[in-house]
A and B are shown apart, each in its own frame.
Chain A
Amino acid sequence: MKVLVPVKRVLDYNVKPRVKADGTGVDLANVKMSMNPFDEIAIEEAVRLKEKGAATEIVVVTIGVAKAETDVLLTARAMGADRGILIQTDETVEPLAVAKLLAKVAEEEQPGLIILGKQAIDDDSNQTGQMLAALLGWAQGTFASKVEIAGDRVHVTREIDGGLETVDLKLPAIVTTDLRLNEPRYATLPNIMKAKTKPVAKKTVAEYGVDITPRLTTLKVVEPAKRQAGIKVGSVDELVEKLKGMGVA
């Protein structure tokens, strides 16, 4: 079974985002960009499925600027993906358009399973996997903390608000990863060197015939309201007094 893993290049999760003074967005010039953390978990899960013999080939795909090739596709291949696809564009591509492009890739590649991160930490949308499942007419196992392939089915344990839930899905299916699915491995230097020999197919949006015109216009981006500076109390008694003053104790 072939596994397809879409990944996204985002502002590194350790970097504090700075809103541009003109309110047009977040400043991404000269800041560290990395693979979306949930996507690393997706790659790791695909590699583990391959190590267990459940997957035969791992194809990683990304949509974005040329730099995505070195920033994320290389890491993904160093972690164990077999080959990459870069759909190059400098435009902002919304989740719906990403899902449409990925649906075309899926038609071409015919994977048995597509594993995505549950959300990208830049737009925090949490939509692409579900949209892709809808477009392909496949089952979806979102927010997965455990994935088990059993013949032509996949069992997915999902993190839901009250606890955990397990669903049984018909393959091919979509899985989106939650934080606790696994601990992604590091790309070692020898593997990074080796990854450079693994192929990457370079494509354009036009080749897939998908209209990526945004449906949403961002009118402005602002910083959230700042909290007023607080006070420090010197003792538990003072804290108790404050809490009682607020009527919670």
Chain B
Amino acid sequence: MKTLVWVEHDNQSVKDATLSTFTAAAKLGEVHLLVAGKGVSGVAEAAAQIAGVGKVHVADDAAYAHFLAENVAPLIVQLMGDHDAVLFPATTTGKNVAPRVAAALDVMQISDILSVEGADTFTRPIYAGNAIATVQTSDKKLVLTVRGTAFDKAAATGGSGTVEAVAVAGDTGLSTFVGAEIAASERPELTSAKVIVSGGRALGSQEQFHALIDPLADKLGAAVGASRAAVDAGYAPNDYQVGQTGKIVAPQVYVAVGISGAIQHLAGMKDSKTIVAINKDEDAPIFQVADIGLVGDLFTVVPELTEKL
């Protein structure tokens, strides 16, 4: 099977999400990559280094600079004449573009796959991860999005793909990019961090969130996450949200501070290797999934922990 993988990038560098998607694609057959964007020769060169890659298709045009689904989907549909499957990381870009491609190809997409069970059979989570479904498709072409935390990352170097420019499909004129506010952060990226410190509603305010969570995260070299309650209350920005509707993470260590552990939050972090919970309510549901729990007031426990680390 000839597969095409969407390379997740920011027009500068290849994002880690690409590497786990690559691993999933390699289970199906030969892997080709698509780098679409503006000024992406550097990204294409980096992509060609991924171990085991075949061809790297490059579409360099202003129409693709912001990965607008209206412009990118026709490009992929065109490449699908020559490929049997297309895989996207289940990032906001992948989730935005993939179904548009699937409908144009008249196939059902399989979202957020956790494993490849065969050439047409995959597992995926449903009901906020409370059930795992094994699904088999009868479609001739596959459109898949891949849960990054479920697959190991392919080696970013050692490959020697051939870079090839593809015909540019152009701008559909349906949509234009106006602007973006990207949260600046010195910390590791949430979805690829080895350690995550997450705060919940119990932090009480934005000031306390930063005063308590940030130093602990810095001590552990961790990314900072948050529950929906903390985000809704304005303690942390939206892109910190871990859960069914936010980011899905599976770090080595997940430290949940002042998070009760609602189904929707657990959906985003219960595949973490080790879960540490700090909560003053010993009946909080988070303790049912935590490997290490500490019952105590976070306002005294967290500063003490930060100091002793």
B109 touches A162 (CB 8 A): no
Residues 212-239 of A contacting B (Cβ, < 8 Å): 214-224, 227-228, 230-233, 235-239
Contacts A17-B131, A215-B108, A239-B276; A134 near B308 (Cβ below 8 A): no
Q: Restricting to A109-150, which residues have a CB under 8 Å from any CB of B? A: 118-119, 121-135, 137-143, 145
B165 within 8 A of A: no
The answer to whether A220 and B70 have CB atoms under 8 Å apart is: no
B178 close to A127 (CB less than 8 A): no
Interface string of B133-154 (1 = CB under 8 A from A): 1111111000000000000000
On whether the beta carbons of B92 and A219 are closer than 8 Å, the reply is no
Given the known interface contacts A99-B103, A124-B111, A243-B309, the answer about A165 and B66 at a Cβ–Cβ threshold of 8 Å is yes
Is the C-beta of A65 less than 8 angstroms from some C-beta in chain B? no
A217 touches B138 (CB 8 A): yes
Interface residues on A, range: 35 or more
Whether A40 is near chain B, meaning CB under 8 Å from some CB there, is: no
Contacts of A66 in B (CB 8 A): none
Q: Is there an interface contact between A236 and B294, defined as CB atoms closer than 8 Å?
A: yes
Smallest Cβ distance from A119 to chain B, in angstroms?
A: 7
Chain A residues near B4 (CB-CB < 8 A):
none
Q: Are A139 and B175 in contact, CB atoms less than 8 angstroms apart? A: yes
Cα distance A16–B262 when bound, in Å? 10
Interface residues of B in 84-143 (CB under 8 A from A): 91-93, 95-104, 106-112, 121, 125-139
* Partner-contacting stretch, out of B27-35, B37-45, B47-55, B179-187: B179-187
Distance in angstroms between the alpha carbons of A242 and B308 in the assembled complex: 12
Chain B residues with CB under 8 A of A16: 130, 263
**What separation, in Å, do the CA atoms of A127 and B143 have in the docked complex?**
11
Q: Does A163 reach chain B (CB closer than 8 Å)?
A: yes
A170 within 8 Å of B (CB atoms): yes
Instruction: Select one of B92, B136, B137 contacting A143, CB under 8 A.
Output: B92
How far in angstroms is the closest Cβ of chain A from B127? Answer: 4
What separation, in Å, do the CA atoms of A41 and B293 have in the docked complex? 36
* Interface contact A169-B174, CB-CB below 8 Å: yes
Tell me whether A246 and B174 are in contact in the complex, defined as CB-CB below 8 angstroms, given that A164-B181, A180-B232 are known contacts: no
Known A-B contacts A130-B100, A164-B181; the reply to A222 vs B176 at CB < 8 A is: no
Is the Cβ of A222 less than 8 Å from the Cβ of B244?
A: no
Secondary structure call for the A interface: mixed
Q: Are B96 and A140 in contact, with the CB atoms below 8 A?
A: yes
Residue B180 contacts which of A165, A170, A237 (CB distance < 8 angstroms)? A165
* B247 located at the interface, meaning its Cβ lies under 8 Å from any Cβ of chain A in the complex: yes
Question: Are A215 and B175 neighbours in the complex by a CB distance under 8 Å?
Answer: no
Q: Is B287 an interface residue (CB 8 A)?
A: yes
Q: Do residues A215 and B125 form an inter-chain contact, with CB atoms below 8 A?
A: no
Q: Write the nearest CB–CB distance from B177 to chain A, whole angstroms.
A: 6
Contact of B219 with A249 in the complex, beta carbons under 8 Å: yes
B219 to chain A: which residues have CB within 8 Å? 249
Chain A residues with CB below 8 A from B183, complex form: 162-163
Let me know if A2 is at the binding interface, CB within 8 A: no
Q: Which residue of A26, A94, A235 contacts B126 across the interface (Cβ within 8 Å)?
A: A26
Question: In the complex the two chains form, is A236's CB within 8 Å of B182's CB?
Answer: no
Instruction: With A26-B127, A216-B137 as known contacts, state yes or no: A161 contacts B238, CB within 8 Å.
Output: no
Q: Is residue A205 contacting chain B, with contact meaning CB distance below 8 A?
A: no
- Cβ B244 vs Cβ A230 within 8 A: no
Smallest distance from the beta carbon of A153 to chain B beta carbons, Å? 9
Determine the chain A residues whose CB is within 8 A of the CB of B135 once the complex forms.
Answer: 216-219
- Beta-carbon contacts of B219-233 to A below 8 Å, as 1s and 0s? 110000000100110
Interface pairs (11), CB distance under 8 Å: A126-B111, A127-B102, A138-B174, A139-B174, A143-B92, A163-B239, A219-B121, A230-B275, A231-B291, A232-B294, A239-B276
- Chain B contacts to A: CB under 8 angstroms: 66, 68-70, 73, 91-93, 95-104, 106-112, 121, 125-139, 173-183, 191, 194-195, 219-220, 228, 231-232, 237-239, 244-245, 247, 252-253, 263-264, 270, 274-276, 282, 287, 289-296, 301, 304-305, 308-309
